[in-house]
Structure 1
Amino acid sequence: MEKYTYKAHGKVILIGEHSVVYGYDALAMPIEALNISTTVEKFNQNWMDTDRYHGPLIAAPAEYNGIKYVVDTLLAKSQSTQPVKLSYQGKIPVERGLGSSATVALGTSMALNQFFDLKLDHDQIMAITNHAEMINHGKASGLDAATVSSDQLIFFNKKSGPQKIAGKLGASLLIMDTGELGNTREAVSMVKAKYDASDVVKKQMKRLGDLATATKEAWLEKATEKIGQYFNEAQEILTDFALSTPRIDQLKQIALDNKALGFKLSGGGLGGIVITLCYNQADAQQIADLSQKYINDYWIEEI
């Protein structure tokens, strides 16, 4: 094969970030409007073209170590001496909790699998993608990889793995990019230190997991207002973990003052994105309009 392109989409965690790392439940949904296409083609050396780096794969900075692992692993499996050029088109804001690293890891794995006709199955692709995520973030639950490879809501537990949830809630989800770079590795490490040192934090972590379980049940019942309450309680816990920021707190106030059913940060925290549950698109749009000076961008998903 001369050339192959694979498009993978991003994700947003609805509830259960951080607690999922400790074996509790989480819910996440794919965002197909945010996607990145990975193209593999023959070249005279192993090469990478991204928004932020153009050059030999071997010389790429440490932020690309996950991709390097994917490429090295699949080149070894192919037993090919053919160098490749990897190009990435599309945009998912990085370090925001939108799954950019998992999207790229999955896209690279899928594209190389097809390019070299390796015939790897889904579980093998997921194992490679998840290992790349471990390199990227230090500790990864598998939730991001499962969601960026799905076209439906994902209910996730490390022990039982991903479970697809069909059906719509019948509400609108406003996703806002604070413009503040989150740092998943730093956030996970900071929370782990708190968790190891405090029984109170351990109880809060369990509660966060319980809220994710309750959200799944409420989703199936289409109990939108309950989910809003669960979002608000989860945000209080994440704030206690010192994962919120003054900007996130300001956005929360705007949302809850303007008909939002629930508000929380999504992903690692310390910046990144926030999500607001609304009855309808009009309410979501009003909150987005009122939040303009505090955000870089926003998306409204019908869920």
Structure 2
Amino acid sequence: MHMVQAYAPGKAIIFGEHAVVYGHPAVAVAINTGVKVTATLNSKWTVDDRQLNSSQHPHIKWLTENSSLNQPVRFRITSDLHPAAGQGSSAALSVASQIAIAKLSGLATDPVEVSKMAHMAEAAAQSGRASPTDTATSSLGGCVVVARELPKLATKVFDTHLETPEGKRSWTIGKMQVGETDEGTPHLVLGYTGNPSHTGKMVAMVADRITSDPLARENLDSIGEITSMGLLAIKSSAWDVVGMAMDACHQKLRALGLSTPMLEELITAVRPHSLGSKLTGAGGGGCMMALTNEPERVAQTIEMHGGKANVTPIISPGAVILGL
């Protein structure tokens, strides 16, 4: 085997940004756009015809250095995700790359092992701090729950841990069935602000803030409580309650200093047509999201206010091999 194509979807975090790094639950879903990686055995290490280096592609560099490949690889990347936008672009890249690397190495591409390797690559690129939410969601697909102690509503898939600057962090990853009603399931609409969100910087900022400000720690813990309420609402198909929980989660994220004027403009603009709306991902730019029964109207509103909209089902499949 000399060539592998792999695809991994992006993600949208419905609840639990940042709090999940500290063991609180987070709920994320795979979306309908992602990253395709074509990996071909080659005479030298390249990414899109440029030499592979750790400054431009730290995730791929780490994965190759921790692989059993005995021959260089040429990587080609095609992405439908906005970079640094809270859509999990680096996680999707890591997942797709790990699948391709494992397949070229003659190894199994088990979604759990792929997720774990991609998570470690994410952490290596983010000063040792990363939750497994993005990589697990991209690899497994569907609705993924990540927590220190997995809620009973979710079905356990695997355990994982990471040594961070703040000490050892452990998580359990589970999946949850999303209920449907006679009226169907609402859509998610993502709105990209056009401004990048730097995950490592935002994660470090929150780490500093909760160390020095007890109120910031309370806000972080509140996100965990809101997530638990939102989980029950998702399981019960109580979409209006899911929307209320999203709004409440956003208030806490904003209090942590993670929102921006553009995010606030888009979130406020879509609320009359949404069940709930919030920033999604690390914050400081990137994307917001809305849960809505009027996806086209919300998408138009986002575009009218200068954002870039993407309508996605609540549930999308996980990473796959496209071709050999």
TM-score by length of 2: 0.84
1:3-56 deviation line (CA, Å, top 9, x unaligned): 11111111111110011011100000001x21222111122211111xxxx311
1:79-126 deviation line (CA, Å, top 9, x unaligned): x2x222111123211100111111111111110111120336444333
For residues 269 and 109 of structure 2, the distance between their equivalents in structure 1, rounded to whole angstroms, comes to 48
Deviation of 1:241 (Å): 0.9
Partner of 1:36: 35
Q: Which letter does structure 1 place at the counterpart of 2:60?
A: I
Q: Does 1:103 align with 2:92?
A: yes
1:206-255 deviation line (CA, Å, top 9, x unaligned): 11011111111011111111111111111111111111111111112211
Residue of structure 1 aligned with 2:297, choices 245, 270, 286 = 286
Aligned residues: 288
Secondary structure in structure 1 of the residue aligned to 2:37? strand
Structure 1 unmatched runs, 5+: none
Asked if the contact 1:63–1:136 (Cα under 8 Å) also holds between the matched residues in 2, the reply is: no
Q: Which letter does structure 2 place at the counterpart of 1:55?
A: R
Q: Which letter does structure 2 place at the counterpart of 1:228?
A: G
Asked if the contact 2:179–2:236 (Cα under 8 Å) also holds between the matched residues in 1, the reply is: no
Q: Does 1:225 align with 2:220?
A: no
Partner of 1:263: 277
Asked if the contact 2:12–2:86 (Cα under 8 Å) also holds between the matched residues in 1, the reply is: yes
Partner of 1:45: 44
Q: Which letter does structure 2 place at the counterpart of 1:267?
A: G
Asked if the contact 2:86–2:282 (Cα under 8 Å) also holds between the matched residues in 1, the reply is: yes
Asked if the contact 1:173–1:300 (Cα under 8 Å) also holds between the matched residues in 2, the reply is: yes
1:112-131 aligned at under 5 Å gives the runs 112-119=101-108, 121-131=110-120
Partner of 1:140: 130
1:206-225 aligned at under 5 Å gives the runs 206-225=221-240
Q: Give me the CA root mean square deviation.
A: 1.6
Q: Which letter does structure 2 place at the counterpart of 1:36?
A: V
Residue of structure 2 aligned with 1:69, choices 62, 65, 74 = 62
Partner of 1:186: 201
For residues 208 and 124 of structure 2, the distance between their equivalents in structure 1, rounded to whole angstroms, comes to 20
1:36-79 deviation line (CA, Å, top 9, x unaligned): 22111122211111xxxx3111xx361411210101111xx24x
Secondary structure in structure 1 of the residue aligned to 2:38? strand
Secondary structure in structure 2 of the residue aligned to 1:166? coil
For residues 137 and 63 of structure 1, the distance between their equivalents in structure 2, rounded to whole angstroms, comes to 13
For residues 209 and 295 of structure 1, the distance between their equivalents in structure 2, rounded to whole angstroms, comes to 32
Asked if the contact 2:178–2:237 (Cα under 8 Å) also holds between the matched residues in 1, the reply is: no
Q: Which letter does structure 2 place at the counterpart of 1:268?
A: A
Q: Which letter does structure 2 place at the counterpart of 1:209?
A: G
For residues 127 and 284 of structure 1, the distance between their equivalents in structure 2, rounded to whole angstroms, comes to 34
CA distance 1:168–1:180, change in 2 (3 Å) = farther
Partner of 1:20: 20
1:144-185 deviation line (CA, Å, top 9, x unaligned): 110001221001114452111113452121111111111111
Asked if the contact 2:143–2:176 (Cα under 8 Å) also holds between the matched residues in 1, the reply is: yes
Indicate the structure with greater helix content: 1
Partner of 1:83: 72
